[in-house]
């Protein structure tokens, strides 16, 4: 094959990228504003503890479980078509959620939001693969796309807090309606249509197996995090893994599989997906404790804690947009490994923190976010770029599924471990004179301790609060140490498994300007990919 120059994107494609940023902003904002709205909707709808848990969790469950199916569906029916269908469904489900009169209807509307949300991320990333065929431009576009998540996490709490200050809880769901209307209005004109012209029909049993497998695993790890090691959580995880094994065996036999398992034989694909998933794993687990530390140990108000998190969001934006510049001159392995090393340093700064160590935590958070900005941009680009163009939707869905699984496992595994350290240290340092019922309350969460301490004599309450803060800080220190070690290990993974990837735009040994050769997954030479693309 002779080297060729990929067509470069023009103004329409860059305007289209701005349209594709809308769903990324919205997805993250929808996650953050719900947590702000929980006290308000709880007072209005009075859900049971189980219902409240499903209101919070069902959205993420169904996004995670539906991603693989929706990514493959977009490859078959058209990624722009699926994106616009999902945008319309998301807007309608947002209205239904905003005006839900009962907890049960709110759970249903959140489930519909999850299914609709699963159409958005794979479609946007796959369309970027179609619109930006030049590797350098695609790296820049993916960096900007990742910035949308960071921007959403920064502005979501601010906008959500302002809305809840003046309106009822349902108004936070209506924030998505004008965003989806803008996407529906501009998408048909600025986004191209693209699909796999040779795709077979969607295998419904495979879709059902993937949904059930992912749902059971995520439900199991969340149950373990919330209820401990009883029979339900491990049984759900084992059942999910068993269905996952059946799913994999079925994919090997199908002529048109839901997931092309040969993608995992591409070193860059496997390494990038591993980095992305494990990065999300440690970041979700650690950030859960960092956010609580800022408020419950450092004593910041929710608004102050939100403002101190803004530098981290800005650092992530910087990292994700500088990474494409660096990969023009350095191998992706070096940029990804460098980002992981920066993140490891950030976690290492948090390891020795005490009860009043705001500066090391904030600086560490900034370094972690900066490093992840580098690594996530490079890994996402490699995952999408290493897959054949006609399978871009499925590859994008695997990236998002890895993120969902990594996040759920991080909160469950690292969150459970951190709380175990908290409870163990608290039990060992309890001051005398604390009633058993107060001890039981304090063991649940650090947030309960302040209220419980007010019921005790001043000296005893202050001693209990100090002991609980020290115990919680010990848990955070252990999580930061584990995260730093995982990041350090991933530095070696990136350096070794990505060593053959070349800077964007340089011809590889296979003679084309792309980090990873789009070889056919059966090992044969790949002819020029054809994508059904129309305006």
Q: What angle do CA 25, 390, 198 make, to 5 degrees?
A: 135
Q: Measured between alpha carbons, how far is residue 81 from residues 15, 139, 216, 406 in Å?
A: 18, 24, 30, 29
In this predicted structure, what is the pLDDT of residue 197? 66
What are the C-alpha distances in Å from 332 to residues 52, 141, 338?
A: 43, 16, 10
Strands (E), 184-257: 193-195
Query: How many angstroms separate the CA atoms of 44 and 48, rounded?
Result: 12
Radius of gyration of the chain (CA): 23
Domain ranges of the chain: 11-134+156-202, 203-257
For residue 376, give Cα distances in angstroms to 381, 399, 411. Answer: 8, 10, 19
- Phi first, then psi: what are they for 193, rounded to 5°? -95, 140
The residue written with tokens 């935590």 in the block is 361
CA atoms within 13 A on the CB side of 1: 19
From first to last of the 535 residues of the chain, give the pLDDT tens digit: 444 566 776 788 888 888 888 888 877 777 667 766 777 777 788 887 677 777 877 787 788 778 778 877 877 788 888 889 999 999 999 999 889 888 889 989 988 988 888 888 778 878 888 888 787 788 888 888 888 877 777 777 777 777 777 888 888 888 888 888 988 998 888 888 876 666 667 777 888 888 888 888 878 877 776 666 778 888 988 998 999 899 888 888 877 777 777 777 777 778 888 888 888 888 877 777 787 787 777 777 766 777 787 888 889 889 888 988 888 888 888 888 899 999 999 999 998 887 667 888 889 989 998 998 888 888 888 877 776 766 666 677 777 777 777 777 777 777 777 777 888 887 777 777 777 777 777 776 666 677 677 777 777 777 888 888 888 888 888 888 988 998 888 888 888 877 766 554 454 433 334 444 333 344 333 333 333 344 4
By DSSP bridging, strand 193-195 and strand 532-534 are antiparallel
Lookup: tokens for 257:
């599989």
Q: What pTM does this model have?
A: 0.76
| CB proximity list for 342: less than 8 A, separation 6 or greater | 367, 368, 370, 371, 374
For position 242, what pLDDT does the model report?
A: 93
Q: How far is CA 16 from CA 74, 76, 112, 188, 390, in A?
A: 18, 21, 26, 10, 20
Torsion angle of the four alpha carbons 368, 371, 374, 375, in this order, in degrees rounded to the nearest 10: -80
Cα of 17 vs its chain's centroid, Å: 20
Burial grade of 206 (CB within 10 A; 0-12, 13-18, 19 or more): buried
d(CA 135, CA 345): 30
Residues 6+ positions from 440 with CB-CB distance below 8 Å: none
d(CA 257, CA 201): 9
- CB contact at 8 A, 396 and 129: yes
Looking at 107-204, which runs of residues are DSSP E strands? 193-195
Task: Say how far apart CA 233 and CA 487 lie, in whole Å.
Answer: 28
Q: Which of 120, 194, 131 is nearest to 390 (CA)?
A: 194
> Cα–Cα distance between 213 and 239 in angstroms, integer?
7
Q: 291, 517, 322: which is closest to 415 by C-alpha?
A: 291
Q: What is the pLDDT of residue 226?
A: 66
CATH superfamily of 11-134+156-202: MFS general substrate transporter like domains (1.20.1250.20)
Query: How buried is residue 473: exposed, middle or buried, by Cβ count under 10 Å (0-12/13-18/19+)?
Result: buried
- The answer to whether residues 148 and 24 touch, using CB atoms and an 8 Å cutoff, is yes
Residue 11 has a pLDDT of: 80
The DSSP result for 448-503, as a single string, is HHHHHHTTS-HHHHHHHHHHHHHHHHHHHHHHHHHHHHHHHHHHHHHHHHTTT---
Residue 195, φ and ψ in degrees, nearest 5 = -155, 170
- List, in sequence order, every residue forming a beta bridge with 513; answer none if it has no partner: 507
């Amino acid at each position: 094959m002779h080297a060729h120059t990929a067509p470069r994107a023009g103004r329409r494609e860059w305007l289209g990228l701005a349209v594709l940023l809308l769903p990324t902003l919205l997805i993250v904002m929808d996650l953050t504003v719900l947590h702000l709205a929980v006290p308000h909707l709880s007072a209005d709808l009075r859900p049971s503890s189980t219902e409240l848990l499903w209101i919070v969790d069902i959205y993420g469950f169904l996004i995670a479980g539906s991603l693989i199916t929706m990514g493959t569906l977009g490859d078959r029916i058209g990624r722009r078509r699926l994106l616009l269908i999902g945008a319309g469904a998301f807007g309608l489900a947002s209205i239904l959620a905003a005006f839900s009169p009962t907890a049960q209807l709110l759970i249903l509307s959140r489930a519909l939001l999850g299914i609709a949300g699963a159409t958005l991320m794979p479609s946007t990333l796959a369309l970027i693969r179609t619109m930006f065929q030049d590797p350098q431009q695609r790296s820049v576009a993916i960096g900007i796309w990742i910035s949308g998540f960071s921007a959403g996490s920064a502005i979501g709490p601010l906008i959500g807090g302002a809305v809840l200050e003046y309106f009822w809880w349902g108004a936070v769901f209506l924030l998505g309606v004008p965003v989806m209307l803008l996407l529906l209005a501009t998408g048909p004109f600025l986004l191209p249509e693209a699909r796999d012209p040779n795709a077979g029909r969607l295998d419904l049993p495979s879709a059902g197996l993937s949904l059930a497998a992912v749902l059971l695993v995520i439900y199991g790890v969340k149950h373990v995090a919330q209820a401990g090691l009883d029979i339900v959580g491990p049984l759900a995880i084992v059942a999910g893994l068993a269905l996952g094994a059946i799913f994999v065996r079925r994919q090997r036999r199908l002529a048109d599989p839901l997931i092309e398992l040969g993608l995992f034989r591409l070193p860059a694909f496997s390494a990038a997906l591993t980095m992305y998933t494990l990065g999300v794993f440690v970041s979700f687990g650690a950030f859960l404790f960092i956010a609580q530390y800022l408020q419950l140990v450092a004593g910041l108000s929710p608004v102050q804690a939100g403002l101190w998190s803004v530098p981290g969001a800005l650092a992530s934006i910087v990292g994700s947009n500088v990474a494409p510049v660096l990969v023009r001159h350095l191998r992706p392995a070096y940029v990804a490994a460098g980002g992981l090393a920066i993140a490891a340093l950030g976690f290492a700064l948090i390891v020795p923190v005490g009860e009043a160590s705001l500066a090391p935590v904030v600086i560490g958070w900034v370094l972690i976010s900066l490093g992840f900005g580098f690594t996530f941009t490079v890994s996402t680009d490699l995952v999408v770029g290493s897959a054949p163009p006609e399978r871009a939707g499925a590859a994008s869905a695997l990236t998002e599924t890895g993120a969902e699984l990594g996040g759920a496992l991080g909160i469950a595994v690292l969150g459970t471990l951190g709380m175990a350290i908290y409870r163990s240290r608290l039990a060992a340092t309890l001051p005398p004179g604390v009633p058993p019922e107060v001890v039981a309350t304090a063991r649940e969460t650090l947030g309960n301790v302040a209220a419980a301490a007010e019921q005790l004599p001043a000296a005893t309450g202050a001693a209990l609060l100090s002991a609980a803060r020290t115990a919680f800080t010990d848990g955070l220190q252990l999580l930061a140490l584990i995260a730093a070690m995982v990041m350090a290990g991933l530095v070696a993974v990136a350096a070794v498994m990505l060593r053959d990837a070349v800077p964007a735009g340089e011809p590889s040994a296979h003679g084309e300007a792309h980090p990873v050769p789009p070889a056919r997954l059966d090992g044969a030479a790949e002819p020029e990919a054809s994508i059904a693309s129309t305006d």
